[in-house]
Amino acid sequence: MFHKILIANRGEIAVRVIRACRELGISTVAVYSTADENSLHVKFADEAICIGPPKSRDSYLNVTSVLSAAEVADAEAVHPGYGFLAENADFAEMCENCGIKFIGPSSQAMRLMGNKIVAKTQMEKVKIPVLPWSKTAVKDEKEAVEMAKKIGFPVIIKAAAGGGGKGMKLVHSQASLGNAFHTAHSEALAAFGDGSVYIEKYSESPRHVEIQIIADNHGNVVHLGERDCSIQRRHQKILEEAPSPALDDKLRNAMGEAAIKVAKYIGYTNAGTVEFLLDKNRRFYFMEMNTRVQVEHPVTEMVTDIDIVKEQIRIAAGEKLRFKQKHIRLKGHAIECRINAEDPDTFAPSPGKITRLNIPGGPGVRVDSAIYCDYTIPPHYDSLIAKLIVYGDTRLEAISRMKRALDEFTVEGIKTNIPLHKKILNEHDFIEGRVDINFLNRYV
Ligand code: MV4
């Protein structure tokens, strides 16, 4: 096992990783920008190294600074958390070359899944269902028109280097295809330095259901069931739950088996998530694979009793999985509300000083956060300030427990989206489990 791990992240996920290390008896090195001197991850880690000014580019995204910190502190491994360098295959490769274990998949597996055209091509080879698509990048407007006609409108244009909704364009008819193609191409080029785009059949109002997988370096791959992440706004997830109200054991097994097949085929190791769209006819289609620990991993931890972050560390250290598929049993129901420092009506970020704080507790309540009273939320990073996770024996118990916990949660000095969560939890369709990716467009 490792003796010392550097956490290349900040906020709640840095704290989450430090907690796992502590419990495993591993010492921790935090890195921080000058805006994060008073952060909880700096206070909780055994050592902390300043890696630059507030801007992410100059600190948390600065590969050289992060690797130098790991060298100086003599860390044997780096945990990237999510965001920042977590899905940067070049960074993972540099870690490998420096003899520092990257706690995640190989740079090769990351690269495969990073290009969505390559990823979909691989999936088709092993007969994982995908929506009809162009099979390759479309290089000009003429090709785009031919493809869209063949596939049938509506179609969606996606960036090969994109993911998570970045650089997507929905197209309803041929009239708007030309413009959409050129915009998608230029946006992709500007954002990713790669303008390649492809075309796919658009699925109307599906659910977003993702399967958590975990794989060791000895050929063992296990899935930990699904998360339903349909409640999102502009590709930012807001509320997630496990299990999905839409799945039964038969569909869960089919999707889980598909996810395992994906992981085995590409030689994937460590924790990963295979994203699917699930349509009205309960057919599922591969979307993309996320090669990191996800924000919403706690809901899976609650219903499986597996500590995903500890498992990531054990796997990176070369250990075998301590469980087989038959040992995984989903029990009860978990919901996560992402608490953001933002205006609940306009969604504008609301950084600033927290002047009063009460964190909920009691049975079945977990809060993953890095805030404390009198802490000032810096304006430079994302607005997630806490994840409120509840567990219940049933979905209805989890819902009423979440409402109770949200009532206990007081944050003063800044605005939060707590009122939005209360609204969602009172919607009839949500209570009945009738959600899809357009849920929030309809109700808020
Ligand atoms: C789609 C789609 C409908 N049809 N692809 C958004 C994020 C990226 N992972 C894929 N996304 C979508 N791809 C086809 N062919 C709808 C979405 C989508 C979406 C997916 C999951 C969760 C929320 C979403 C919100 C808008 C669009």
C-alpha 77 – ligand 1 centre gap (Å) = 34
pLDDT block averages, 10 residues each, the chain of length 444: 98 99 98 98 98 98 98 98 98 97 98 96 96 97 96 97 86 96 94 95 97 98 98 96 98 98 97 98 97 98 98 98 98 98 93 98 98 98 98 98 98 98 98 97 85
Are 97 and 244 contained in the same domain? no
Residue at which a domain ends, from 48, 79, 101 = 101
H helix intervals, 166-226: 177-192
Q: Is residue 115 part of a domain?
A: no
201 within ligand 1 shell (Cβ under 6 A) = yes
User: With left for phi above 0 and alpha for psi between -120 and 50, is residue 269 left, alpha or beta?
Assistant: beta
Map residue 441 onto helix, strand or coil: helix
Residue 125: both structure tokens together: 């080879």
Q: Could you tell which of 87, 166, 275, 277 is best to mutate to test the pocket of ligand 1, judged by most ligand atoms within 8 Å of the CB?
A: 277
In this prediction, residue 162 carries a pLDDT of 86
Chain centre distance of CA 395: 22
Are 439 and 375 contained in the same domain? yes
User: With left for phi above 0 and alpha for psi between -120 and 50, is residue 235 left, alpha or beta?
Assistant: left
User: Nearest-CA neighbor of 137 among 154, 157, 108?
Assistant: 157
317-350 confidence digits (pLDDT tens): 999 999 999 999 999 999 999 999 999 888 999 9
273 within ligand 1 shell (Cβ under 6 A) = no
User: Tokens 């990237």 belong to which residue?
Assistant: 80
C-alpha 148 – ligand 1 centre gap (Å) = 17
In this prediction, residue 345 carries a pLDDT of 84
Residue 160 · residue 115 · CB < 8 Å: yes
> What distance in Å separates the CA atoms of residue 164 and residue 437, rounded to the nearest whole number?
13
In this prediction, residue 344 carries a pLDDT of 84
The answer to whether the pTM exceeds 0.85 is yes
For helices 395-408 and 418-426, give the axis angle rounded to 10 degrees.
150
Residue 171: both structure tokens together: 């197209």
Give, as one character, the DSSP assignment of residue 175.
G
Q: Is residue 145 part of a domain?
A: yes
User: What is the domain-level CATH number for residue 51?
Assistant: 3.40.50.20
Give, as one character, the DSSP assignment of residue 342.
B
Q: Is residue 122 part of a domain?
A: no
Are 187 and 299 contained in the same domain? no
292 is catalytic: yes
Are 382 and 239 contained in the same domain? yes
Q: Could you tell which of 147, 203, 295 is best to mutate to test the pocket of ligand 1, judged by most ligand atoms within 8 Å of the CB?
A: 203
| Residue from 207, 227, 292, 314 carrying the catalytic annotation | 292
> What distance in Å separates the CA atoms of residue 21 and residue 313, rounded to the nearest whole number?
8
Are 225 and 318 contained in the same domain? yes
Are 378 and 233 contained in the same domain? yes
Are 157 and 216 contained in the same domain? no
In this prediction, residue 48 carries a pLDDT of 98
Are 267 and 378 contained in the same domain? yes
Are 96 and 192 contained in the same domain? no
Residue 271 · residue 328 · CB < 8 Å: no
Q: How many domains does the chain have?
A: 3
User: Tokens 């007081």 belong to which residue?
Assistant: 410
> What distance in Å separates the CA atoms of residue 206 and residue 168, rounded to the nearest whole number?
16
203 within ligand 1 shell (Cβ under 6 A) = yes
Strands 27-33 and 47-52: parallel
Identify the bridge partners of residue 242 per DSSP, sorted by sequence position: 334
Q: Is residue 421 part of a domain?
A: yes
Identify the bridge partners of residue 356 per DSSP, sorted by sequence position: 412
Q: Is residue 114 part of a domain?
A: no
Are 197 and 211 contained in the same domain? no
Q: Which atom of ligand 1 is nearest to the CA of 288?
A: 9
> What distance in Å separates the CA atoms of residue 381 and residue 238, rounded to the nearest whole number?
17
Q: Is residue 431 part of a domain?
A: yes
Are 63 and 154 contained in the same domain? no
208 within ligand 1 shell (Cβ under 6 A) = yes
Residue at which a domain ends, from 201, 223, 239 = 201
In this prediction, residue 443 carries a pLDDT of 84
Domain that holds residue 380: 207-443
In this prediction, residue 50 carries a pLDDT of 98
Map residue 33 onto helix, strand or coil: strand
Are 228 and 192 contained in the same domain? no
User: What is the domain-level CATH number for residue 354?
Assistant: 3.30.470.20
Q: Which amino acid is at 201?
A: K
Strands 333-340 and 236-242: antiparallel
